[in-house]
Chains A and B, each alone.
Chain A
Amino acid sequence: MKDQDKVLKEVTQGEYKYGFYTDIETDIIAKGLNETVIRTIWEKKKEPEFMLEFRLNAYRKWLKMKMPDWAYLKIPAIDFQEISYYAAPRKKPKYESLDEVDPELIDTFNKLGIPLEEQMHLAGVAVDAVMDSVSVKTTFKETLAEKGIIFCSFSEALQEHPDLVRKYLSMAVPVGDNYFAALNSAVFSDGSFCYIPRGVRCPMELSTYFRINAANTGQFERTLIIADEGSYVSYLEGCTAPMRDENQLHAAVVEIIALGHAEVKYSTVQNWYPGDKNGKGGIYNFVTKRGICRGKSSKISWTQVETGSAITWKYPSCILLGDNSVGEFYSVALTNNHQQADTGTKMIHIGRNTKSTIVSKGISAGVSNNSYRGLVKVMPRALNARNFSQCDSLLMGDRCGAHTFPYIEVGNKSSVVEHEATTSKIGEDQIFYCNQRGISTEDAIGMIVNGYAREVLNKLPMEFAVEAQKLLAISLEGSVG
């Protein structure tokens, strides 16, 4: 084996850095799924009446559905009766200041390099930290409240703004949309809710850190973001999970609704535990993310950096209903070792003069498989629709795979859809050039990969971009550190 291949191998076989978990007492209900369990969740959460119906309806739909098998993934059979569908920290704490928060939780955040305090002060980020399924901490609420912005846990929204939830819930992702969305709708325990009133520009990035923490607890988060007419919000979601041996299921649903002239920017850095070098353990991440540009000239932009999970199944999408509305998808997906990712987007053009942009950068290392799957669909009435797609794949070593599945359906003659795709190998000559300037191979790879992904990283809010860059380098890092 050539030296460089050896280093590449070393570099790409590092252990997961964030392999630890916090020991916080958890209240878990017995494993299994049936109507009684759903009722229990509903009762425990003291939800309004309509939610019981919503959940049961979803459950009944789910029963009639099958696991999707069209993705380029090998998904082991999941026993849904072996999962516990609800876990909540025993004392539901709501704190005024950081001092009151469980020091272990703070410690966990510190290990992740996300000092909560620093984040709040420096970046002015309101952090809604979701520990397991119940919101542990919500900050900056008052500042937001002054502007009429609602940013709270989903449970809280159901208590305090049931009409808003009822009006918009499942507008972008219908209950029976797909297998995992149906399951989520039936059993979701908590998540985040955000409402930006008419004409308001949210003064800070809203951010949520999701964590999986209780053993054997499937995670079913629900996020609903509503941007009323002429409003703007940038929303950040980042996560990293503790090292685990058992596979953990994660099936979140994120819905975004943008009304006329509203703009929502949704950024994700996803770093769930990917499993060990041999592919053991790791999170299964089956996420449904969809935004609907309901009003004229509205805009939804998804940016994601995906480095984690054993299996990723995720297609943040935009339904461009309003005339002149804009959908964007910027993605970096990195897979290493035995990871599998099938990710991409759907852009559904319904309104006139709608525009969409897709930039996908796949990076595969180890024996991983990385697929881009995208659908651009232009309905007959979507006159003058425009799409541009750029899908690049970068291979590290020759045991990994990259695949591109673009689906294009254009229903009228005035629309233009462009698709470009490239596949490249990380350049030996680029690495040597860096070496010759005193830069180690490991650092060189980090630098080259970050350069490759820059177009997407540039779309992230500043603080997040820095974190994401580190994450890309760490995800490819080996014995060092």
Chain B
Amino acid sequence: MLSIKNLCVSIEGKEILTGINLEVRPGEVHAIMGPNGSGKSTLANVLAGREGYEITSGEITFEGEDLFELSPEERARKGIFLSFQYPVEIPGVPMVTFLKTSVNEHRKFKGEKPLTAGEFLKLMREKKQMVEMDTELTNRSVNEGFSGGEKKKNEIFQMALLEPRLSILDETDSGLDIDALKIVANGVNALKSPGRSTIVITHYQRLLDYIIPDHVHVLYKGKIVKSAGRELALELEEKGYEWIKQENGN
């Protein structure tokens, strides 16, 4: 589904990603862990097509297509979803307007008829239940005045609405209380299917108790320096990153 080969990325001349290789097959869940500033969000943003990054080498294909040929909105419509580490507020834009536009853009891309207001509200109600999203929140402007945890929940709510092929969750668990964490994990698991894949970026093993990863990778200084099964997450939780740093000459 997703194939990253030797990806090198700089920001303003500074090398951030220094040769990433990653293979995500349909149905798989990959966890990416790593110390602060190692390049996890950078990788997520590059996958989603955010501007301001210089791709110095490497290639990424998504379902066989060259990702760099696609605009951010095309990537989204083809099924790449990024749950933002820091979701932005868009004052004055009602959630419903935003979500309906988003859902209908996806439908248009698939050649489906746009949902009417009534149909959309029905869909929204269904998905809201799934992530226990408060109506009071969906009546506001996009993310406006949402608490940190509410913003994260809102990301998963949108994921549930859009049913993406590849979800990238960038620290969706940080700032969530235990109950919210379970709800978010349930949301992710409910979407799980042989055709859908997930990349979970997290600092905590806890989330991985609920979202069981097939692979765990450690990103360090812009490189994946270790990959293993879910036991790696436990090991990191216990030992921290010191040994990784030492193994990598630092």
Contacts and interface: CB of A to CB of B under 8 A. Distances in A.
Nearest to B76: A438
B48 A451 contact: no
Contacts of B71: 435
Given A428-B51, A432-B51, A437 B91 contact: no
Contacts of A440: 73, 105
Interface in B100-124: 101-102, 105-106, 109
A438 B92 contact: no
B50 interface: yes
Given A432-B50, A448-B93, A438 B88 contact: no
Interface centre among A4, A437, A452, A454 (most CB of B within 10 A): A437
Nearest to B48: A436
Interface of B: 48-52, 71-73, 76-77, 81-82, 84, 87-88, 90-93, 97-98, 101-102, 105-106, 109, 141-142, 158, 162
Interface in A216-259: none
Nearest to B83: A436
5 contacts: A436-B81, A443-B101, A447-B90, A448-B93, A451-B141
Given A448-B93, A455-B92, A433 B84 contact: yes
Contacts of B51: 2-4, 428, 432
A437 B105 CA distance: 8
Contacts of A2: 51-52
B98 A430 contact: no
Contacts of A99: none
Instruction: Choose among A2, A4, A433 the residue with the greatest number of B CB atoms under 10 Å from its CB.
Output: A433
A453 interface: yes
A430 B72 CA distance: 13
B81 to A, nearest CB: 8
Nearest to A457: B92
A430 B93 CA distance: 11
A432 B75 CA distance: 12
A435 B76 contact: yes
Main secondary structure of the interface of A (DSSP, over half): helix
B76 A437 contact: yes
A437 B87 CA distance: 12
Nearest to B144: A451
B115 to A, nearest CB: 14
A100 B143 CA distance: 53
Interface string A415-456: 000000000000111101111111111010001101111110
A438 B109 contact: yes
Nearest to B99: A437
B72 A436 contact: yes
A432 B91 CA distance: 15
A435 B93 contact: no
Contacts of B109: 438
A476 to B, nearest CB: 15
Interface of A: 2-4, 427-430, 432-441, 443, 447-448, 450-455
Given A435-B49, A437-B76, A439-B73, A447 B97 contact: yes
B93 A451 contact: yes
A437 B163 CA distance: 12
Contact of A438 (B73, B87, B141): B73
Given A3-B51, A451-B141, A429 B73 contact: no
Q: What are the 10 tightest A-B residue pairs by CB atom distance, in nearest-first order?
A: A451-B92, A451-B93, A454-B92, A435-B72, A438-B105, A437-B102, A438-B76, A438-B77, A435-B73, A429-B88
A441 B51 CA distance: 13
Contacts of A441: 73
A433 B81 CA distance: 11
Residue among A4, A439, A448, A454 with max Cβ neighbours from chain B (10 Å) = A439
A274 to B, nearest CB: 24
Contact of A432 (B72, B81, B98, B142): B72
A447 B105 CA distance: 14
B92 A436 contact: no
Nearest to B74: A438
Contacts of A3: 51
A443 B105 CA distance: 11
A434 B84 CA distance: 12
Nearest to B106: A438
B234 to A, nearest CB: 32
Nearest to A447: B93
Contacts of B162: 437-438
B158 A437 contact: yes
B72 to A, nearest CB: 4
Given A433-B88, A434-B98, A454-B92, 13 more contacts: A2-B52, A432-B50, A433-B84, A435-B71, A436-B76, A436-B82, A437-B158, A439-B105, A440-B105, A443-B105, A447-B98, A450-B92, A452-B92
A20 B84 CA distance: 46
B240 to A, nearest CB: 32
A450 B76 contact: no
